[in-house]
Amino acid sequence: MTTRVFVDCDPGIDDAVALAYLSARSDVEIAGVGAVFGNSGVEVTTDNALRLLELYGRPEVPVAWGASRPLVQPPRLAPHVHGANGLGGVELPAPAGKPCEESAAELLVRLARETPGELDVLAVGPLTNLALALALEPRLPDLVRRLVVMGGAVRDPGNVGPHAEANVANDPEAAEVVFEAGFTLDLVALDVTMRTVATAEWLTELSRVPGERAERTSEFLAFYSDFYTEILGERQCAMHDPLAAAVLVDPHLVEGSYRTPIRVELNGTFTRGMTVADLRPRPSKDERHPVRVITDVAEADFLGRMLDSLR
Ligand code: BDR
Ligand code: CA
């Protein structure tokens, strides 16, 4: 069975690996890609999405330009993590293709309406495009089969603040709209992504894989792993976005999860952008539609599949 997926992303180095993971699969149709500001400005992330789909052998996938800023706050980018060009300073050839006429939100809504109940959505950037799509089509949660979000930090610390993770913190209002909307939603938060890291051995193994795809990706990851080495104290890096892609297309990799409603703190002097779950040991009175928070995955299997996708 083919999985039909719309990818909303801000490439971004781990976004790039997520695109590689999906592109390598003959059982995955990437129906469209939406770009959003985040790791870089949207003009850069859109251009990178085009370049990456050409690198990974999916030049036919429509790429749509999305939001250039969050719904309320000013944008905050991450050149220190992903490089000024979003790809660790690695220059891929200029794309042959160009973005489609529709916005990312319009493309997502059109694709969802075309095949009601069949489209999956992978969101690995700020959730602004999804919030805009919900404004265009409030029935989106019924039209898509499943949404997998890389974002948030439920029990674990944040990465852009004590409690806030980048994708949620980069547009808390949009994230709150998405968590409220009633999607069948898997949340791949820092709780699992910071425990499922690419090791030094994995990075070395990738550096020995011949071919354009693996070589360029290894170069992106050299920049990205420098950032993580500083934080984690040894040479390794979190693979946030590819792990979310794996949860979507390889659901059997999930070994632990729990269900809870999620709310996003929109005020808070120290907690704006925090993903809040009521985890007190009694049935929650929160009537919001619960999401599935992923806590454990088959790590070795995931790392092997990620490497295979680049071979
Ligand atoms: C998330 O933030 C971005 O920098 C990464 O691409 C990932 O989607 C991790 O917090
Ligand atoms: Ca991302």
pLDDT digits (tens, 9 = 90+) for 286-296: 899 999 999 99
Which residues are bridge partners to 63 per DSSP? 33
Summarised one tens digit per residue, pLDDT across range 89-137 is 999 999 999 999 999 999 999 999 999 999 999 999 999 999 999 999 9
Residue 50 burial (C-beta neighbours within 10 Å; 0-12, 13-18, 19+): buried
- The pick from 8, 13, 14 for probing ligand 1's pocket by mutation, whose C-beta has the most ligand atoms within 8 angstroms, reads 14
Among 6, 170, 213, CA closest to 100: 6
Q: For the chain, what is the radius of gyration of the CA atoms?
A: 18
Residues of the chain predicted below pLDDT 50: none
pLDDT value for 284? 80
3-state helix, strand, coil in the chain (%, to 5): 40, 20, 40
CA dihedral 105, 109, 114, 117 (to 10 degrees): 120
Q: Is the dihedral of CA 292, 294, 296, 302 positive or negative?
A: positive
One-letter amino acid of 254: V
Q: Is the peptide bond before 12 cis (omega within 30 degrees of 0)?
A: yes
Atom of ligand 1 nearest to the CA of 190: 10
pTM over 0.85: yes
Residue showing tokens 């992903």: 82
Active site residue 240: yes
Q: Are 21 and 95 in contact (CB under 8 A)?
A: no
pLDDT value for 177? 98
- The pick from 8, 127, 154, 167 for probing ligand 1's pocket by mutation, whose C-beta has the most ligand atoms within 8 angstroms, reads 167
Cα-Cα end-to-end distance for the chain: 23
What is the Å distance from ligand 1's center to 240 Cα? Answer: 6
Instruction: Report the C-alpha gap between 95 and 30 in whole angstroms.
Output: 18
What is the Å distance from ligand 1's center to 242 Cα? Answer: 10
Among 173, 144, 10, CA closest to 79: 10
* Ligand having the closest approach to the CA of 192: 1
Residues with CB under 6 A from ligand 1: 12, 14-15, 39, 78, 81, 124, 150, 159, 165-167, 240-241
Pairing of strands 275-276, 263-264: antiparallel
